[in-house]
Amino acid sequence: MAAHAHDHEQCVREAMASAERVCAERGVRLTPIRKRVLELVWESHEAIKAYDLLDKLGDADGSAKPPTVYRALDFLLTQGLVHRIESENAYVGCRHPEHTHEFQLLICDDCRHVEEISVAGLSESLKRQAKKQGFQVNRQTVEVHGQCPNCAGQKG
């Protein structure tokens, strides 16, 4: 796995503090299981599947069942604390859960690192093009697969 230059512990602390703040402001509960699932999602910037989360929860508490994980993920998705990576059927933490926002995901096919970006106007441009085709957009997920700078550098 490629190393990505940033203070990941600080990243996780900020993500968890943001999640607690967002939930408090919205009057929703970040229960212990929801918090633990979010912590596991934030363990790295790699996509993580629900059954991998279940395995990790099972290591600590053998009573975790698939519905428990899926309910926690549904809550985290609804609150905008995680993003679902459609092409991988996996999840990654959201960097900006305070507000609804346009985002795109850069997914490294080699090390599985996922980076959230926001290209201004891209979502609106896609909606305009879809409308020209008579298509009504309900939601968008833009995923770009390739190699991160670390992995691309290893090949060159």
The enclosing domain of 151 has a CATH number of 1.10.10.10
**Would residue 94 count as lying in a domain?**
yes
**Would residue 1 count as lying in a domain?**
no
Burial class (CB in 10 A: 0-12, 13-18, 19+), 151: middle
Lowest mean pLDDT segment, chosen from 6-15, 53-62, 145-154: 53-62
Structural domain of 116: 8-155
**Would residue 2 count as lying in a domain?**
no
The tens digit of pLDDT for each residue in 9-26 reads: 888 899 999 999 999 999
- Partners of 146 in beta bridges: 108
**Would residue 39 count as lying in a domain?**
yes
- pLDDT of amino acid 60: 61
pTM summary value? 0.85
Number of domains the chain is built from? 1
Opening angle at CA 115, ends 148 and 94, nearest 5:
165
- pLDDT of amino acid 153: 84
- pLDDT of amino acid 45: 82
